[in-house]
Structure 1
């Protein structure tokens, strides 16, 4: 069963064929994840199951209905909206059924607020998708007065919500399968703007697949092979270092985390070159494919059962590089994903052992459950030493301290570089994957070790993890994203279905372009 499940995932990622263009292959790959379709030419047939009327919030609360509607219908709708105190606030919704002489079986009037951002539009699209479910074959959306990018964002939000990970169900439920007809002011522009979202959605879908894959199927080698297949239709170079090569490169921190497992550590590197010969921006993602905690065993059943999600940072990195390559972004970006499998056996790393990282740093492993920073240490070294990255962003489900500090609405960021911080905050605001800066200091000495050069834990916990990673970034501009608690949900919410949500794909891809643009402008200003 394990082999067949993995084969299904690889086949899905490979859909499209190597000879297809990026745009075409992205659309083909969509069919493996969602069945819904979007059309941007006006639909004139009188057979819509649902008509969605988007209504902006106004100061006087008056909702403007299309002039072509029958006066009786307009009167009924206005009365219903008044009874429900509908003012057009974002997310407000009123449903009317079987209106006399109306060409749709159902009418939903949905509020968009006063100024709908990209993130707002995506959430609104997801809201509509969640309600449609399997209840319709044809949906018409009246989006007159909204920009092409707003329309595209709503369609994108619907796609993100309609993803399902159902490969382990013997009889999976039918996926939503309907066509959405968008009536907008600029159909061609909206269609193009929507097409531009597809590489990003594909990156999110692949990331979700990786996150959701159980530990016994999604071990390091399997994830590396899945990633190679997923990027095979993109202009991306994928390199996989075997456990023997990891060891030969001196990456003892990465190798040590998996030495107790039959599935030893690998290193995945994906590189996209769209910016000439400039040094790349490096994204480094934690790819711990399952985390028992090692000899510091996780004792909570509710915690350990979801530890396949510990590879969410690595999944985000892969998805972000795919998204950037898919849109032909004009920059060079490299994704570095250290892959490990933290199990217990007679050969596993013990508490108190000392591991030697690739840069020669000796790390005392005070807690084997603080393994993410160990594998990231060697990943960051690779980005700095081998790729000569001009900036590094690492992302990981790293610490419980972050969850206790910020919950799950924000990811924590740590950095001493203003340009990285400002561009990351802007990316969070744009995508809705919000970040909040936590301090790196003054916490001198929190990872000092009497036995080795440094130790892998300290207090405060989130800062200790960040300070360890900063040690390996050295003088390269660096930012750390602790996304603990953000990667998974037990139930659907917003643009996310239940399970792994692909958090970080949108944030990282947006940030890489933001930072590239800001650094280019800065360089131009100094010349």
Structure 2
């Protein structure tokens, strides 16, 4: 019997192979399920627009220059209002004017963009505009003359990310934002092309957010595997699902053991995109623990356990990143490996003190059943190294509370002994504002030694013990570990993220893969 079951996603059609249009076509099939807003990049006069946004860089001595098409009386009125507010174009400044006489928009927002506008800042600006638009908005004009097509695309991308809604469980969901944004820049065609490149990334984040938000009772391993297969079906991605029987047959006892107490046994999801010839893939391995009670080391905090559907956020980030890279047709071979488990308690559950045997033959003493993420990642990393022959591995997980204590929720903690991987990750974090902070792997000698087995699954310091444990399974393959505990969930809407699962890691991993690939 073959160990592989699954689907080969729909192959690119001739239209997809034609060039620029491919990312739009690939992302288009499901993009509209999430976002009803439309972005237009042709310079077209819009009568009676609901809002006109006028972007202004930080000013020197010259002062603000308003379009000459606006009549003189209107320009004087606007300048007087800006002077009164002390507006000088600093980032974050905004002045609103309503019902200007003879003006072609109902509202005018004059928005400062600062001395420079990075990609992340442009995305945040777009998200901020989206957050302010009312439910009745139908048309928006953004006057963006003098801004690059990449900056305009990033602003539109930020609006898309903020407008995501997870309303599956609302009996009467509020209407989603549904308006047209007309971007008036210097080169509409170039801005449109740049925007199309952001859509697969946004789509990957939307799918990741869906996975994170899905409650544990509905988002069990098989359900997530099927959701992932459906999500990638319009991409040039090969999706393979290994069933619980196959996981067990392949010897992945660490992964299998975490779901031993649940009727929903462990699966392994593998998604592969080949855009870089015959080169060995870069592998992304993401923790997909679909719900974590802690097992017999039960989580006793109600506020903690109620959010444990977010424990699959690392796996969601891996899937979203592979989707983004495939949708952009990046020149890289990348494989996403997502071990999926369901950590519950029953008469068949793994007990504290039990010994599990991982795919590489390592015997693991399970000192704490709530340190389950590293168990499933161990077999995921082994699979990436042994079965996929990955040239480098990055794993990502909501792994340890110790990480939150060390660096909080504004940074992920990263561990690696490979400088090129670390530098690429730090640069990727700066670009996407999904920031990382390196923590040491050593010396910490012996922190996962076990008197009973080869290794144990806990140690102190906690974040380092988790990283050391995972490093054991990467062996000599270049490897980096991302502990994103505390980063996966937004308690309230903020910036590009609405409340709930935020898709953290999709942008970071996408950028990291492209940087590592370009440096090889």
Band the TM-score falls in, shorter-chain normalisation: over 0.9
Q: Tell me, in whole angstroms, the C-alpha distance in 2 between the residues paired with 1:290 and 1:338.
A: 13
- Contact 1:18 1:232 (C-alpha < 8 Å) held by counterparts: no
Q: Tell me, in whole angstroms, the C-alpha distance in 2 between the residues paired with 1:473 and 1:17.
A: 34
Segments of structure 2 that go 5 or more residues without pairing to the other structure are: 1-8, 17-21
Q: Tell me, in whole angstroms, the C-alpha distance in 1 between the residues paired with 2:11 and 2:186.
A: 32
Deviation at 1:130, TM superposition (A): 0.4
**Could you say what secondary structure the match of 1:166 adopts?**
coil
What is the match of residue 464 of structure 1? 465
Q: Tell me, in whole angstroms, the C-alpha distance in 2 between the residues paired with 1:60 and 1:382.
A: 61
Q: Tell me, in whole angstroms, the C-alpha distance in 2 between the residues paired with 1:262 and 1:20.
A: 44
Deviation at 1:25, TM superposition (A): 3.6
What is the match of residue 503 of structure 1? 504
- Contact 1:282 1:334 (C-alpha < 8 Å) held by counterparts: yes
- Contact 1:287 1:340 (C-alpha < 8 Å) held by counterparts: yes
- Contact 1:18 1:233 (C-alpha < 8 Å) held by counterparts: no
Deviation at 1:301, TM superposition (A): 0.8
What is the match of residue 404 of structure 1? 405
Q: Which moved more, 1:278-287 or 1:61-70?
A: 61-70
CA deviation map 1:31-52 (0-9, x unaligned): 1001100001122132100000
- Contact 1:90 1:111 (C-alpha < 8 Å) held by counterparts: yes
- Contact 1:61 1:88 (C-alpha < 8 Å) held by counterparts: no
Deviation at 1:58, TM superposition (A): 2.1
What is the match of residue 393 of structure 2? 392
What is the match of residue 176 of structure 2? 175
What is the match of residue 269 of structure 2? 268
CA deviation map 1:230-277 (0-9, x unaligned): 111111111100101101111110000000000000000001111111
- Contact 2:29 2:234 (C-alpha < 8 Å) held by counterparts: no
1:366 aligns with 2:367: yes
**Could you say what secondary structure the match of 1:393 adopts?**
strand
What is the match of residue 145 of structure 1? 146
Deviation at 1:405, TM superposition (A): 1.3
What is the match of residue 488 of structure 1? 489
Q: Tell me, in whole angstroms, the C-alpha distance in 1 between the residues paired with 2:514 and 2:460.
A: 34
Deviation at 1:68, TM superposition (A): 2.0
**Could you say what secondary structure the match of 2:371 adopts?**
coil
CA deviation map 1:154-203 (0-9, x unaligned): 00000000000001101000001100000000110000100111111111
What is the match of residue 320 of structure 2? 319
Q: Which moved more, 1:450-459 or 1:166-175?
A: 450-459
What is the match of residue 328 of structure 1? 329
What is the match of residue 191 of structure 2? 190
Deviation at 1:134, TM superposition (A): 1.2
Q: Tell me, in whole angstroms, the C-alpha distance in 1 between the residues paired with 2:463 and 2:61.
A: 48
- Contact 2:318 2:509 (C-alpha < 8 Å) held by counterparts: yes
Deviation at 1:20, TM superposition (A): 7.9
**Could you say what secondary structure the match of 1:120 adopts?**
helix
Q: Tell me, in whole angstroms, the C-alpha distance in 1 between the residues paired with 2:89 and 2:460.
A: 48
Q: Tell me, in whole angstroms, the C-alpha distance in 1 between the residues paired with 2:54 and 2:381.
A: 49
Aligned pairs for 1:243-254 (under 5 A) are 243-254=244-255
CA deviation map 1:450-472 (0-9, x unaligned): 11111111111111100000000
What is the match of residue 99 of structure 2? 98
Q: Tell me, in whole angstroms, the C-alpha distance in 2 between the residues paired with 1:19 and 1:341.
A: 41
- Contact 1:238 1:268 (C-alpha < 8 Å) held by counterparts: yes
What is the match of residue 5 of structure 2? none
Q: Tell me, in whole angstroms, the C-alpha distance in 1 between the residues paired with 2:455 and 2:318.
A: 27
Q: Tell me, in whole angstroms, the C-alpha distance in 2 between the residues paired with 1:165 and 1:474.
A: 40
Q: Tell me, in whole angstroms, the C-alpha distance in 2 between the residues paired with 1:323 and 1:292.
A: 31
Q: Tell me, in whole angstroms, the C-alpha distance in 2 between the residues paired with 1:371 and 1:73.
A: 64
Q: Which moved more, 1:81-90 or 1:473-482?
A: 81-90
Q: Which moved more, 1:285-294 or 1:130-139?
A: 130-139
Aligned pairs for 1:205-354 (under 5 A) are 205-354=206-355
What is the match of residue 125 of structure 1? 126
Q: Tell me, in whole angstroms, the C-alpha distance in 1 between the residues paired with 2:391 and 2:237.
A: 19
- Contact 1:296 1:368 (C-alpha < 8 Å) held by counterparts: yes
Q: Tell me, in whole angstroms, the C-alpha distance in 2 between the residues paired with 1:200 and 1:61.
A: 39
**Could you say what secondary structure the match of 2:91 adopts?**
coil
**Could you say what secondary structure the match of 1:158 adopts?**
helix
Q: Tell me, in whole angstroms, the C-alpha distance in 2 between the residues paired with 1:18 and 1:273.
A: 16
- Contact 1:15 1:28 (C-alpha < 8 Å) held by counterparts: no
TM-score normalised according to structure 1 size? 0.94
Q: Which moved more, 1:241-250 or 1:130-139?
A: 130-139
- Contact 1:15 1:25 (C-alpha < 8 Å) held by counterparts: no
Task: Summarize the Cα distance change of 1:133–1:434 in structure 2 as closer, same or farther, 3 Å threshold.
Answer: farther
- Contact 2:367 2:458 (C-alpha < 8 Å) held by counterparts: yes
Q: Tell me, in whole angstroms, the C-alpha distance in 2 between the residues paired with 1:342 and 1:253.
A: 12
Q: Tell me, in whole angstroms, the C-alpha distance in 2 between the residues paired with 1:272 and 1:241.
A: 18
- Contact 1:90 1:113 (C-alpha < 8 Å) held by counterparts: yes
Aligned pairs for 1:403-422 (under 5 A) are 403-422=404-423
Q: Tell me, in whole angstroms, the C-alpha distance in 2 between the residues paired with 1:465 and 1:84.
A: 52
Q: Tell me, in whole angstroms, the C-alpha distance in 2 between the residues paired with 1:169 and 1:140.
A: 32
- Contact 2:157 2:198 (C-alpha < 8 Å) held by counterparts: yes
Deviation at 1:61, TM superposition (A): 8.3
Segments of structure 1 that go 5 or more residues without pairing to the other structure are: 1-13, 520-527
